[in-house]
Every structure is written in C-alpha cells, then in structure tokens.
Structure 1
Amino acid sequence: MATHVINVERREDEGKGASRRLRRDGKVPAIVYGGDLQPVGIQLDHEKLWLASQNEWFYSSILGLSLNGDVQKVLLRDLQRHPYKQQILHLDFQRVSENEILRAAVPLHLLNGEKSPAGKIAGVVIMHELTEVTVACLPKDLPEAIQVDLSDLVVGAVVHLSDLKLPAGVEIPQLKLGKEHDVAVVVAKHARGEEEPAAAPEEAKK
C-alpha cells in the first residue's frame, strides 16, 4: 500500500504557552513516540493538515512524517479538535516498525446493499452495526479499508465479523476471544415492529 507523506517541522518549545503561540501562527503541535527512539515534539501546517484530515486514509493508513526529507512511518493514535471551531489542536503519532505486528482500526466499506435481495424489498432496513474493525497485521499489509459486498444479502441475514473477507496477512484479534465476540456487522430486517403478545387470561381479568 502507498504511504501518504506529510511534511512536519521540529518543535523546539514545549508547554501550553508555546502551543497557543503555534496555533495563532497557523501551526498544530504534535508528538511522535514509540519504537527505539525518544518522543519528539513536532509541528504541522494547520491548513494542509486540515485538508488531509478530511480523508479516510488519514485515520487508518500508515503515514510518512517527513522532517527535512527524513521520513518516519507512523499511525495516528489521537487527534484533539476544538469543541466548536474547525481547528485541530493536537495530534499523537506512533512510530511503526516494518517487522512488528500492529493493531489499527480500519473502516468497513459496505457495498451493494441497495442491489441485494433485502435492499429491493420495501420496508426492509439494512442496519450497519459497525463502521470499522480493529485488525492486526504487519504495516505492509494494513488495508486502507475492508470491502463488504452485500449483493447476496437476504431478509433476516446477519453478516458477522467472521464473514468478512480479509486481505492476506490480516486478522481480527477479537475473533480469538470466543464466539460471543463474533459480533454482527450488518443485519437485514423488517422495519415494522413485532405485534405485542396477547395478554394471558389471568392478566386480562385484572
């Protein structure tokens, strides 16, 4: 998979005051940690970062942070937003090693639900129970998304985690915890509620 490269700068000043000054200058403070290296404070251009953050890959792909041409591969682990402004306040990035298994949340792309037998029946609702799933794999095998083809979905059917078709080298750790963790991803059911059961004779006399 391709690595998305983002230019960064070294951040010399630490503390809340320094972070406020950065934000006033259109920069975003961040930290890079993990691996055999010490945590490093960096800063990013807010306008370019905001544009990148509008893409799904920003949250689930391996990112390349380029500091004067030196690229470190990382995953976004935390992003803090302003409560009401369109502003990113801080980010945490974790370094990844090519030879170490990582865990990351990957979005699910649910396709062709409207073309399925269930999707063509009036009054049937296709419930999307999950929008992402945590996978484990080497960095080179991390998918940007997992495709879920619903073309054959029928009324009453349930698509579970174990039904997902995963790329080579990718697994879902949750499935190792037992059958009760094989949760539903998609459910197709009638929208109308079931009729309430009739009252028992002794209840009807009360």
Structure 2
Amino acid sequence: MSDQIKIQVERREDFGKGASRQARRDGKIPAVVYGHGTDPVHLLLPTQETTLAVRNPNALLTLVRDGEEHLVLPKDIQRNFISQTVSHIDFIVVRKGEKVVVDVWVHVDGEAAPGTTFNLEEASVPVLAEATHLPENVTIDIEGREAGDHVYAKDVTVPAGTTIELEDDYVIATISETVEQDLGETEEETEEPATVGAKGGDDEAEKTED
C-alpha cells in the first residue's frame, strides 16, 4: 500500500527554459500541481529526495509549503532522454477517501504446465483504488495452465476495495506450446587438400628433362 512521503517545496517564481535549466543546476526539479478545480501551482522540489520518492510512479506525496500540506500523486514524470534524470513532474491533488485510476504492475504466481511457454501480454493494468491505499501490484496465477489457456482480466486478483479497469475478457497473458526448433544436423564437408602447384611441379620436371 502507498506510504505518504513529506517533501518540503518552494514556489517557483521564474519560468522559461533558461530558468528551468538553472533550477536543475541548483538541485531542484520544476513541478506543477493541479486538480479539484484549483489553479495550477508551480513549485520547485529537491532533486535527490524527489527522485528517490518517485521511483514508485504511484508514490503518494505530501508537499509542504509555508505550513500548508498538499496530498498529491505523480501524473506525469518527464525524464532526460540521455541521463534519465527527472526533469519535470506534473502532480494531481488527491483527497483521503477519493478513488483514482492508476497503472500497477502484474505479479505472476506459479508455473505453467511442462512443455508450455508463458507470455505476459500486459505488464501493467489500470485499477481504480483509494488514493491513500494504492496497491503495489495485482496478481495472476498460472500454476498448471495448459497450452491454449488465456488469463483474462476477470482472473486477476486485486486487493479489497480495488477494481481492475478492463473488460472481463481482456487478455492479460497466454499459454502456448513450446516449439522446439530443429536446426538439423550440420555435416562438415571435408575437402581433400588442394594440390595447387603439383601439376606445375610435373611440368617443371618435364621442362628440366627437356
């Protein structure tokens, strides 16, 4: 379940690409908070602390500014294409008791029947859950499943109070028969050593005799 993390933030006063680059050089991440009909609030967050916090993309954060606290969830995390460092975050305001839709990882239990191959079609799925009690994952059980079997959204196990936001017949995983590729036997073709120059040697001998 989600743990609330408190982060001290400051209001962002300067805008534009130059100001954003300067903020990152100063060890701060530009961010914007919106939701519940309020005007967007532009903030600066400490880079190291925030980066660690949002390793879980569904991290529930409490942003503290001037004594006020705002409960938020990351909505969009932008990262530098090369360094993969966090460059900007959009947060959405949430309230205790409110339900939100987030994507969570699919955890797989068990092993399919021998001679089969398991294929996870969806590594994550959308779920509706209480903002302050978001699950870390949902679970599917593939123990003993045979070739041709499908795991559907209706087969996913979710925590109490959580529902999966997919149609019941949506395919999450498939089980197929393992196909062994026959590469055939490779025969090494052995060739007799080339006798280049042998005939030439006879010719030379004939010339010498002449």
Map 1:3-14 onto structure 2 (within 5 A): 3-7=3-7, 8-14=9-15
Secondary structure of 1:51 counterpart? helix
Give 1:69 deviation, angstroms: 5.5
Secondary structure of 2:57 counterpart? helix
Provide the residue aligned with 2:179 in structure 1.
192
Provide the residue aligned with 1:30 in structure 2.
31
Give 1:80 deviation, angstroms: 1.1
CA distance in 1, matches of 2:67, 2:146: 52
Distance 1:47 1:61, change over 3 A: closer
- Residue 63 of structure 2 contacts residue 70 of structure 2 at CA under 8 Å; is this kept in 1? yes
CA distance in 1, matches of 2:101, 2:86: 24
Map 1:44-193 onto structure 2 (within 5 A): 44-53=45-54, 55=55, 58-67=56-65, 70-112=68-110, 116-118=111-113, 121-122=114-115, 124-175=116-167, 182-192=169-179
- Residue 140 of structure 2 contacts residue 155 of structure 2 at CA under 8 Å; is this kept in 1? no
- Residue 135 of structure 1 contacts residue 171 of structure 1 at CA under 8 Å; is this kept in 2? yes
- Residue 129 of structure 1 contacts residue 185 of structure 1 at CA under 8 Å; is this kept in 2? yes
Q: Normalized per residue, which structure has more strand?
A: 2
Provide the residue aligned with 1:203 in structure 2.
none
CA distance in 1, matches of 2:25, 2:59: 29
Distance 1:145 1:99, change over 3 A: same
Distance 1:110 1:63, change over 3 A: farther
How high is the TM-score relative to the length of structure 1?
A: 0.76
Provide the residue aligned with 2:185 in structure 1.
none
Secondary structure of 2:73 counterpart? strand
CA distance in 1, matches of 2:147, 2:91: 43
**What fraction of aligned residue pairs are identical, expressed as a percent?**
33
Give 1:133 deviation, angstroms: 0.8
Deviating above 6 A after TM superposition, structure 1's stretches of 4 or more consecutive aligned residues are none
- Residue 10 of structure 1 contacts residue 41 of structure 1 at CA under 8 Å; is this kept in 2? yes
Secondary structure of 1:166 counterpart? coil
Q: Normalized per residue, which structure has more helix?
A: 1
- Residue 141 of structure 1 contacts residue 170 of structure 1 at CA under 8 Å; is this kept in 2? no
Give 1:163 deviation, angstroms: 0.7
CA distance in 2, matches of 1:101, 1:34: 14
How high is the TM-score relative to the length of structure 2?
A: 0.74
Give 1:126 deviation, angstroms: 0.8
Q: What residue ranges of structure 2 are gaps of 5+ in the alignment?
A: 182-210
CA distance in 2, matches of 1:153, 1:48: 44
Q: What residue ranges of structure 1 are gaps of 5+ in the alignment?
A: 195-206
